[in-house]
Structure 1
């Protein structure tokens, strides 16, 4: 195929500065590089974080490991810091040209892109497609094979079957972020080779620590105890004793086991928990009696976890951790903020989970969004024998308790409400990114006493995308149910505004090859392209409508 010299592209050139470049050069591959043609790209709320922060975003900064600077300097689509970038990471593309040193990719392959290059760290996160590497809001994108192959040889470009529609395939990426929050593997032991802090209030026995170990003990143990407890702690091995919580480093411990019930102690220990750390509160029959200031933002962004037991054995707290925070048979699920794009995905994903005796409640503050959700979900719920209802919490209070909470709004008080409204052994999925520094006063007595477990995830993995892609390929999941509007490049910046202002209930799909098409909600499609609207399946986007759009609009 003939490759043009220039292309249409949406570029982010500074904070809140988007521009449509109608003559951006098409970059041709060097020896290790791959040129791919974009079929379509979905717009994501995460794009707004990059839009607002630009060079201040953790994924827009320079790569600090994993590839030599000399290699990075060879990649013209590597655009860290203040360099203009192209956003967009929910994509399906086709490889059209490769360099002579490319070993693992072939011309003609149709692929998804896993956007999180976790093997390439930045100072505060990792490299990512659509951030410090140019993304998909353009007609052609240049990739480098040394970037898109993981350390274990796995490809970030995931092959896609030809029979799947472009939007259906591209939306695997956001659905994979949803999937990750249900299938992530949770750690249920003291981290082998990690850093353990033991803090014990006077009068508490040190029990169950060794029984909490995984396949190896921690590398270091620090303890804050009184002298009467020293012998039982010293029996654990080489222990460093210190006098107070103030003496130990912030974010310095992978596990904190606290024997006691002091709010002041727990407030202080909050900040000592490292990324992916677990704090295990062993109450020993006592109660805290006060709300504790918990770092709920770090549960999502820092993957921190809070567990505990009312008994005296620390291992009982770790037993509260599920292997995967998946919905279970008999669960009563509530999705808070279900009317938005990601909320819709959680609702549909749970309805289609195959669990028996499941009920799903969807809440939102907007009747229009709830009606749109009803059109997508009621028939699916009936087909899957799932009890489904919707509640506008602006006019109606939730009158039930639930065994699974999925929180779509980054509002810390929702975590408080979830704890109060949970059944015993409930799971609380903090899916929305509450800002990392945010803390909120929580009732940990109820949380521990009822065996609750709150968790959060961010992004997805190659494995998550393959799981979702298989569901789509097998017909178990239709990702197109989340589409609310389509666009060409003329409407791409308007689409980002719509995401920002939450004026669309579902996803917006951009087709970069359609230069002059503006943003069109599916509800208005008949006014612009009646033959395309006629192909919709019960008002929903589908492969047939997509094919008709590309044929009609291109002509």
Structure 2
């Protein structure tokens, strides 16, 4: 079912009648052939807390934004509500993408999952754009090397109209507006962004060696292992701590040849790690020789964005390590390793990219939520996906909704899929069920979709050889989990995470939608007009719906409505 509002009576934009003449009102809307209003409605966030979203729980009237010769004016046709929006509302000025901004003085307009139509074109852009063109927005905007995310730094789509400027039109990766065919529904288009995030989660890659031109720290350990690099070290700066003479001789030879700057530190126990962090600003690679959990734990906070920790060891750690799993999700930290003396083996292409193992066993933790259901739907529908799928969630209704959506396709393909509520079982019984489902060999893929650190901790013992733990849930940076990293080097277990998507992910998802291969709007659970955004944010925070909420900013007076209720309230739409 395509969730696209088509009833003329719901198109309550007061400026439409003057320019539409005798045209059908809906066609005039699609063509952007009407007089624009002088005032519009917008939801602005003034600080942390739902009470600071809008004014008294309502959108504000603001002047129609003006656009310049190098800008576009777009109409927001539909916008999805994402739990990331809720995070900004919860954290306010403390959100990592808002840090340094005083929302009280400079409020943000949220909304990064829009479908838009061009209604105004600046004179310098008329050779590229025209009224009536439809687009989606790749929200992870970078301009001049800086993150300018749409709906965070740049004003977003929780409004009726928005200006699109140079940051989006001339971004570092090109234009962040992606064209949409007229046949695609507004909700289908808006849901491209969250679906692209799902796609991106299975395309995570990483370097196969130390970062060229980066900062490398190598920490040695007592022992008689004859370590070798097995790779070129093209770092800009190498810091060496407690290395034996053979590795140190190699590094000094390379440094003497001008390959990099080399710093030899005092012993690890003598180091001031806070000073190390201030001095080097984080390391792109940290290579740990030996199985000292304390050293690993103390070094991990010094990883830079997209940093890799390579653990080269032969004995179990003996205890868990405190790891910031928020940095795995948001900053791309990776933990790799090897139980050989060849350091480069830790960088091998194990589970790269992060696609599900064909014919494997997958476990979706927190599967019943909106994004979880998308992940499971993808696993079931993909041509070479896992053969066995375990879905867990603490909400029976969510699991029932999930199974009603995916079970027919799973059974048709001969897949084994099971939904389990752990809270209905004792811990021992649940763990036994999990182990039995994995047939005693562990899970090839574990996808964590609920931001609860203990769920990550509990999944680690059930990982298979070369198992991949994918942290999709948006754990805030600073979320600590106690993880036994022994499996990283003993059985090539990998931990990865991602946030957002890239332009290619969006384009591929949009192509799948336009071809009919992917029905993005199967994910819609409720819709509403512009005034329903406040309730929609609250419902998303509370987990009230098993799917996505779509807001249609140009529909006035429509409360937040579950899809199944439309057959009674709006039968022509349903």
Counterpart among 136, 139, 142 of residue 118 in structure 1? 142
Counterpart among 106, 121, 137 of residue 83 in structure 1? 106
Match of 2:41 in 1: 8
The separation in 2 between residues aligned to 1:165 and 1:27, in whole angstroms, is: 26
> How far off is 1:430 after superposition?
0.5
Maintained 8 Å contact 1:485/1:520: yes
| Residues 151 and 320 (structure 1), Cα distance of their counterparts in 2 relative to 1, 3 Å cut | closer
Maintained 8 Å contact 2:379/2:385: no
The separation in 2 between residues aligned to 1:360 and 1:451, in whole angstroms, is: 22
Whether 1:95 aligns to 2:95 is no
Which residues of structure 1 form unaligned runs of 5+? 64-78, 534-555
> How far off is 1:48 after superposition?
1.1
The separation in 2 between residues aligned to 1:39 and 1:461, in whole angstroms, is: 22
Maintained 8 Å contact 1:187/1:323: no
Match of 2:202 in 1: 182
Give the structure, 1 or 2, with the largest relative contact order (CA under 8 Å, sep 6 or more).
Answer: 2
Greater CA drift, 519-528 or 171-180: 519-528
Maintained 8 Å contact 1:61/1:132: no
Counterpart among 477, 495, 512 of residue 436 in structure 1? 477
| Residues 81 and 450 (structure 1), Cα distance of their counterparts in 2 relative to 1, 3 Å cut | farther
State the TM-score, normalizing by the size of structure 2.
0.84
- Structure 1 counterpart SS, 2:510: helix
Per-residue Cα deviation, 1:145-195 (whole angstroms, up to 9, x for no partner): 34432235x211100011111101100001111111111322221111111
Counterpart among 43, 53, 62 of residue 18 in structure 1? 53
> How far off is 1:313 after superposition?
1.4
Maintained 8 Å contact 2:447/2:472: yes
Whether 1:463 aligns to 2:481 is no
- Structure 2 counterpart SS, 1:460: coil
Whether 1:525 aligns to 2:566 is yes
- Structure 2 counterpart SS, 1:240: strand
Maintained 8 Å contact 2:144/2:172: no
- The 5 Å alignment of 1:288-437 reads 288-319=317-348, 321-355=350-384, 358-396=387-425, 397=430, 398-399=434-435, 400=438, 401-437=442-478
The separation in 2 between residues aligned to 1:244 and 1:106, in whole angstroms, is: 65
- Structure 1 counterpart SS, 2:467: strand
Counterpart among 90, 94, 115 of residue 52 in structure 1? 90
Maintained 8 Å contact 1:207/1:314: yes
> How far off is 1:260 after superposition?
1.1
Match of 1:160 in 2: 180
| Residues 471 and 363 (structure 1), Cα distance of their counterparts in 2 relative to 1, 3 Å cut | same
> How far off is 1:385 after superposition?
4.2
> How far off is 1:354 after superposition?
1.4
Aligned residue-pair number:
510
> How far off is 1:357 after superposition?
5.7
The separation in 1 between residues aligned to 2:469 and 2:71, in whole angstroms, is: 43
| Residues 81 and 427 (structure 1), Cα distance of their counterparts in 2 relative to 1, 3 Å cut | farther
> How far off is 1:117 after superposition?
1.4
Which residues of structure 2 form unaligned runs of 5+? 1-33, 257-261
Whether 1:240 aligns to 2:298 is no
> How far off is 1:343 after superposition?
0.5
Per-residue Cα deviation, 1:30-54 (whole angstroms, up to 9, x for no partner): 1111101111111010111221233
In proportion to residue count, which structure has more helix? Answer: 2
- The 5 Å alignment of 1:210-289 reads 211-213=230-232, 217-226=234-243, 228-229=245-246, 230-238=248-256, 239-245=262-268, 246-247=271-272, 249-250=276-277, 252-283=282-313, 285-289=314-318
The separation in 2 between residues aligned to 1:465 and 1:473, in whole angstroms, is: 12
| Residues 60 and 350 (structure 1), Cα distance of their counterparts in 2 relative to 1, 3 Å cut | same
The separation in 1 between residues aligned to 2:175 and 2:244, in whole angstroms, is: 54
| Residues 61 and 225 (structure 1), Cα distance of their counterparts in 2 relative to 1, 3 Å cut | closer
The separation in 1 between residues aligned to 2:37 and 2:180, in whole angstroms, is: 25
> How far off is 1:226 after superposition?
4.8
The separation in 2 between residues aligned to 1:91 and 1:315, in whole angstroms, is: 44
- Structure 2 counterpart SS, 1:494: helix
Whether 1:197 aligns to 2:245 is no
| Residues 224 and 204 (structure 1), Cα distance of their counterparts in 2 relative to 1, 3 Å cut | farther
> How far off is 1:253 after superposition?
1.1
The separation in 2 between residues aligned to 1:373 and 1:62, in whole angstroms, is: 40
- Structure 2 counterpart SS, 1:237: helix
Whether 1:208 aligns to 2:208 is no
- Structure 1 counterpart SS, 2:202: helix
